[in-house]
Every structure is written in structure tokens, then in C-alpha cells.
Structure 1
Amino acid sequence: MTGSDPISDAIIAGSTSGELGDSINASKRAKRDRFSAFEAPNPPDQCSNSSTELSGPVCHSCGQTADTFHRPIWDLLVDILDGLFGLEGRLWRTIPPLMLRPGHITQNYLSGVRARYVMPFRLYLTVSVVFFLLIFAFDGFGGDEVSGTVPTPEAPVAAANLETLDERLAEAGIPESEREALARTAQAGVAQVLSQSTMTPEQRAQQRREDRDSMKQEFRQMLLPEVYGEASDPTLNGAGDDGVNINVTGLDELPLEVREAMVQRIDRIIDSGGATLVASMQRWAPTMMFFLLPLYALMLALTHFYKRGYFFYDHLVVSLHFHAFMLLLITGLSLITYVIPAAASYAVLFGLVWSNWYLYRLHRTVYSHGRFSSLLRVILLDFVYAIFLSFALLGLFIVGVMTT
């Protein structure tokens, strides 16, 4: 292409081979010429941008489509949807092999077979949007404050179980002294259940408010002992035998302004029953997943540093396809669990087995590893990635608290 470079070629290729290009190729409806106040500077058989003679729906010189878009907006939307979701669209040529043939489209894409598939980054963005929309839509934050309902305590059942508790503990071989302590704890729990069963809705609401206030006070004492005094829990903030205040959490070393801001945010979280924290974590979850993509690609690169011919771009494509597969798998299994709650354990087991088998086949297909080598890499990647994911979730929780 005259006057172009590899970067611009890639951008043009991506734009002209996107859903819009699919819609132009897939749509068989005749498009009537309509009068427009904005006339093209060139004849209809020439590209309006580069004046190049057209030989198809896309200019081979600059990549601009030949469509004037001077049609009703609903006609344009139908064209785009036809290209995206039609049987001839690339989405349906990408999703089935992505889910059922591990490494197939990745191997094809890296080998140069690309036009028939959705671009990896665009595929991941589409799948992630669907994933987070569905997961957040069906994952309402439970609790009495949100649902407006109060669970009914099972007082008769608890009392009946208490009568046979000592017999079951004796059958389990627990000494009598320990059985007495466990019985006292169980009796206290049953007494609380019985008291809650006789509460009116107003009394239960008052009890929840008191519990929230107590929880907020504990956090205030822990974060701001100089303002609210010592915490009731000596393991957090307490006084030693010599009267010196002890803070084993180390939070008192933070600046006062930071601790005051934390108290305000924790108060909002407790008042909302945790809903504000969940909402904040939901906002940041896509960003966390986005940063995990190059991290996983880097892990793949480090495990293949000795092999020539593999570039970071190749590992990034593998990471994009694998994460898109995982998001689709979790979405599907979550929907099944939502419809059939009894299948939750089977769904988790299937997800673990299929995802690891997928990763194993991915190494076999894309990187041409042997069976033993692929198995070792799956175990190593699972272990290391689980550590990174744990830190990422912890960071997501911290960011969620600080941005509520």
C-alpha cells in the first residue's frame, strides 16, 4: 500500500475487517440512492477519500468503506447487527472453536488465518462486557437491608437439636468437660434464636441498627484511638500492664487524615450493608482483569524464553483468547447455576476440569509441547496465577474501600 506503514496497515485492517465490514458483506438488501445535502466530491465508482477506482465495498488504497451512510438509521443498525450476529458473521466462526477446540483459533490466527475470526482484543472486550453485565445483573447483594425481608429463625429446630447435642458429642468421643463448654455455647445460641423469633419487625430493625452502630464504633476505636478511646478487643488496640497503649495493627502510624477518611468510608459501607463496597468493586473489576492480561502473557513469555520464534505479541494473543474463554465459561456456568441451584457443585467441578484441560491442550496445540511438559506448565501457571489473582483481589478490595 503506497505511503503506508505497518502500524497504519494494522489499524486499517482492523477497521475494515470489523463488524461494519461484515455487515456490508453480509447484507444482501438493495440500498436505494437517496438525496443528501452532502454530495461526494467524486463519482460513485471512486473513493471519496483517496479518489481511487473502487473494485469492491472497501477502498484498497485507504481502507474507507464505499457506503455513504445516507440511509435511515434503523437500516444501518440492521446492517451492523446482521454482520455481527448473522450466521455468516465472524462471531459465530469464533465462539464455537474458542470454547470447544482449545488453541485452534489461536494457532490459526498466529499463522495468518485472521479475517474469518474476531480480532483477539475486540473479542475479549465484547466477552468481558457481556460477562460483567450478566454477573453483576444476577449477583444482587443479599441481605435484609437490600431485600427488605427478614429470615425466620428456626427456633423449634434449634431447640430440638440442642436436646440431642450431648448424646451426639458423647458418641463422637468428646470428653465431658469439653461437652459442657460446647453445651453452654449452644444454649446461648439457641437463646438468641428464641429471642429473635419473638421480635417484631420494628425490634429486629432496631437490633440491626444497634449492631451497625456497634460495628462502626469498633472500627473507630481501632482507627482513631486518640479520639474514640481504646478498642474493646485487646488484640487490636489495648493497654498493656504498664498502661502503655498497644496497637498491633500498625494503623496508628498512618496519617490522621487518612484514618479519618477510612472511618468515613467504613461508616458508609456498614450503613449500606456492604452494597457501596460491592458497587465500587464492580466498577474496578474490569480494570483489574484488563491488567491481568499482559501479566499472564508475561508468565507465558517467561516459560518460553528459551524458544526462538515466539514474541510477546504471540503470548498476548494466547492470553486474550484464554481469558475470553474463561469469561465465557464462567458466564455459562453461572447462568446454569442461577437456573438450577442444585447444579452448583457440578458446575464448579466441570469448570475446574475443563479450564485446566483447555490450558493443557492450548500448550499442546499452540506451543507444540509434549504431554508431560504441557502438564507441568499447567500446574505451574495455575499456582503462580492463583497467587497473582489473590493479590489482585486483595487490591480490588482495598481500592473498593478507598473509593466508596
Structure 2
Amino acid sequence: MGNKPSLISKGRYELKFRGNKCLNCGHPLDISDKYCPNCSQANSTKKLVLRDFWDEFFSSLINYDSKLIKTLYAMLLKPGTITKDYVNGKRITYTNPFRFLLSLAFLYLLLFSYDNNFSNLDDLDLKNKFQKTSPISYAYKESDSSDVKKQTEEALGHLDSLRNLERIPIPGMQNMDSLGYLINQEIKEEARKDSLMRANPRKYFQELQSGDSGSFVERMVFFFTYLRKDSVRTFEDAQNKFGAKHTWKNKMAFNGSKSSLKAIEQPGTYLNNTIAKLPFVIFFFLPLFTVFIWMAYIRKKYTYTDHLIFSFHNQSLLFILLILSLIIDTIFNTASAGIFLLIFGFYLYKAMRRFYGQGRIKTIIKYVFLNTIFAFLALFVLLGLLTGSVFTY
């Protein structure tokens, strides 16, 4: 009996406050139960006071810090070991890999947003520069009802000039009459659309949506043009002014055009908002990339989830190195990201060797293969993120 540990704890965990039933889930408890084995709630009937909050807060903080230090130590100095320990059941020692990666991603985002100069791009007045240099500015220039006749005559004169192109002999093109005819017809059709759009935009858009045949890009160009001219502001305006039907294609084209114009007007804000989505994109990207890791090590005993944890740990290390790079660059006004990326490349190779336990040649081959796949997927996801951000900005 003398070796039995004491059951007495301080504060709300004293024996006199122990109950025989969990207040949360109703599970039967013994007086020796400090926590409910069913739901993990503290076995205490004591009314909460402010001191209890402080005690539990600091207890949780110290416990988390202890896990954090052990996680950082294993991750930085023992590549691959932390993943091996975690998948083998040694999990209470380290922080949750998913939560840890999410915290690092947000921390990196905050530091990156604070340190970048993207907001200065909003002062470049790209909207006016775009209007002056846009190749469609001639076709879609500002007009009112009094200028419609004049602009239509100009467009018809432009068509006459295009017809004269058919009569101009081009050396070496004698056997390409059909191709030249098709090109001229295409040019004339575009000019006809331009003139109609300027002279009668409502009729032009009716042609676009008649039979739902107008392309998505053409509708975006149309909406973009009149949004830029402040002729419309909402989709309801487009419905009233141009007779736009309430279809998914028209609605998406309008929203995409509106977001694109806003991105041109505020490029810095657009980039910051796009980068803000990066932490969420990572958690869709890594599970996809993990499929290729699973394929590369399909003969190994590890499950898909084990490979996913390996991805989370390595990505966490990358964020740690990038955060260190940002801090060093801010303090010393340097550019150290390249050095830390090289360190990560070496770290990744060591982690693959230690976790999967294969020889140098096999590890190098799979290292090159997986990094190539990673680069292609990252490029694809980045393009998708930029494109998606245009439609949601």
C-alpha cells in the first residue's frame, strides 16, 4: 500500500470534488478517476472560479510547449524519425501533424503578407494603362447614341479596307488561296462583330446567347467592356440593358469579368488575397501528391495515411525553413530563400532514406521522380489558384 501513488490533487481535482458519474456523458466513475475514460472530461464537481481557468491554461500551455520542442527537435535534427515514431504509435510525444502544418502555414502567411510590397502595385493605375494599350480599345471605345452612325460608317470603311486585302497579291502564296480566304473571312467576321457591338450592344449580346451558342470568352469580353465603361455595375443591370438571360454561363461570365477588372485595378490586393488561400490549397494538394508517394513505395508496408503523415511533416519543415528565411531577410536585408530550399532538398533525401529504409540508388531515383511530379502538380495547382481567384476576387 505504501507504493500506491497518492490520489490527492490540488484545486478542483481534490478527492472531495470527485464524483461517481461523469457530468458530461454520464459514464460511471471511480474516485480514483481524475478524468472520464469515455470522454476525457475532468472528474470534478467543484464550481469553476477564475483561478481554475488560469491553472488549466498554463498547464495546457506548458504541455503544448513540451510537445512543440520535442517535435521541432526531431523534425530539424532527425529527418524521417518523427514520422517513423508517429506511425509506430509514439504520438503523444509530438504535436498533431495536421494541426502543426496548419499553424505553420498561417504563420508563414502572416509573415509573408507583412513583409511583401504587393500593396504598392495598387498605385500603378493599371486600369488606365490597360485602356490605352488594349488591342480591343479601338473596337470598344466609349460611345453614345449620337456617335453610333459615325462609328458604324467607320467600321464599314474598315470592312472595305479588309476586302481590298483579297486583291493584293502576296509572293509565294499562290497555293494558299483557300487559307487566305478563310483568314480574310475570319477577320471580316470579327470586324462585323466589333461594329455591331459598338452600334447595338443589346442586339450583339442577343446573338451571343441565342441558342446558347456564344462562347464563354466572348461573353466575358462583352461584360468586361461595359463594366470598364461603367455602363453596368450588377448582373441585374446587364439583364435590363442588354437582355442577358439568367443562365449559369452569363452569370459566371459576368462575375469573372467583374473580378478580372477589379484585379486589374488592384493587382496588389488581388495577389495578397490569392496568397491568403495558399494554406487551404496545400491541404488539397498534399493528399493528391501523396497518391504518387504511395505508388512509388507500393511494395512497402505503409498505408496511404502513413505516406500522408510523411508529407505533412516534410511540408512543415519547409515552412519552418521559409519562416527562418523571411526573418533573416528582414533583419539583414538579404535573399536567403535559395539557401534554405537547398537545405530542404538535402533534408528530404535524408528523410526518405531514413523513413522508407531503401538504398541510395533507389532513393535518388524516387527522389527525382517525386520531385518532378511535385513540380508539375504545384504548377497546375498554382495556375488553378490564380484562375480561380480571378473568378472569386
Pairwise same-fold verdict (TM > 0.5): yes
Say if 1:356 and 1:378, in contact at 8 Å, map to a contact too.
Answer: no
Letter paired with 2:18: P
Matching of residues 181-192 of structure 1 within 5 Å: none
Is 1:270 the counterpart of 2:238 in the alignment? Answer: no
Letter paired with 1:31: G
Match of 1:111 in 2: 88
- Given the superposition, is the C-alpha separation of residues 110 and 356 from structure 1 closer, same or farther in structure 2, using an over 3 Å criterion? same
Match of 2:284 in 1: 291
Match of 2:360 in 1: 371
The number of aligned residues is 289
Match of 1:155 in 2: none
Letter paired with 2:57: L
User: Which of the pair has more CA radius of gyration?
Assistant: 2
CA distance in 1, matches of 2:290, 2:92: 23
- Given the superposition, is the C-alpha separation of residues 124 and 225 from structure 1 closer, same or farther in structure 2, using an over 3 Å criterion? same
Matching of residues 165-184 of structure 1 within 5 Å: none
Give me the TM-score of the superposition, normalised by structure 1: 0.62
The Cα of 1:217 is off from its aligned counterpart by 6.3
Letter paired with 2:127: R
CA distance in 1, matches of 2:346, 2:380: 25
Matching of residues 1-400 of structure 1 within 5 Å: 30-31=10-11, 44=18, 46-48=20-22, 49-55=26-32, 57-66=34-43, 70-72=48-50, 73-85=53-65, 89-143=66-120, 145=122, 209=125, 212-216=127-131, 221=136, 241-242=184-185, 243-245=188-190, 251-252=217-218, 257-272=251-266, 274-307=267-300, 309-342=301-334, 344=335, 347-400=336-389
Q: Secondary structure at the match of 2:118?
A: coil
Say if 2:353 and 2:363, in contact at 8 Å, map to a contact too.
Answer: yes
Say if 1:360 and 1:374, in contact at 8 Å, map to a contact too.
Answer: yes
Name whichever structure is richer in helix by fraction: 2
Identity, % of aligned pairs?
A: 21
CA distance in 1, matches of 2:312, 2:364: 21
CA distance in 1, matches of 2:341, 2:382: 19
Deviations 1:71-113 (A, max 9, x none): 314444333323223xxx2111111211221001111111222
For structure 1, the residue ranges without an aligned partner over 5 or more in a row are 1-28, 35-41, 147-207, 230-238
Say if 1:280 and 1:401, in contact at 8 Å, map to a contact too.
Answer: no
For structure 2, the residue ranges without an aligned partner over 5 or more in a row are 1-8, 144-150, 152-161, 163-182, 194-214, 221-248
Letter paired with 1:213: N
- Say what the alpha-carbon RMSD is for the aligned residues: 3.4
Could you tell which deviates more after superposition, 105-114 or 64-73? 64-73
The Cα of 1:132 is off from its aligned counterpart by 2.0
CA distance in 2, matches of 1:284, 1:138: 17
Q: Which has the higher contact order (CA 8 A, sep 6+)?
A: 2
Give me the TM-score of the superposition, normalised by structure 2: 0.64
CA distance in 2, matches of 1:132, 1:78: 27
CA distance in 2, matches of 1:403, 1:263: 11
Deviations 1:300-339 (A, max 9, x none): 10111233x2211111111111111111111111221122
CA distance in 2, matches of 1:139, 1:121: 27
